[in-house]
Amino acid sequence: MKRPGAKQVRRKRPRATKGRGPRSAKAAQIIALVEALSAGLGSHDGVYLGRGIARLLADSFTQRRGSVPPWAQELIAHYAGTDRGS
């Protein structure tokens, strides 16, 4: 039951990101998509799927352009569980 006068707050960033999360909207959208696709699976399977997608993106960009764009680096860092920098 809702409290009288309680307002619903809209989030600017998808719930997929925890804490500060990625700065890039593109990385945040991909994370949200992976979480939506793996909703029926266990959390480990979702992370495994996310890591695989991040690795495929990194390999593809490295072969085509020679460098991985910052949003893809944020995606890789998210699924690797490493610090995303400041």
* Residue spans per domain, the chain: 41-80
Helix (H, G, I), strand (E, B) or coil at 3: coil
Closest residue by Cα to residue 33 from 21, 18, 46: 46
pTM score = 0.61
Residue 14 confidence class, pLDDT cut points 50, 70, 90? very low
pLDDT tops 60 at residue 17: no
Tokens of 65: 């352009």
Mean of the per-residue pLDDT values of the chain: 77
Residue of 74 and 24 predicted with greater confidence: 74
- Residue 40 or residue 54, greater confidence: 54
CA-closest candidate to residue 35, choices 19, 22, 23, 48: 48
DSSP structural state of residue 12 = S
The answer to whether 68 touches 62, Cβ cutoff 8 Å, is yes
In which residue are the tokens 């959208």 written?
29
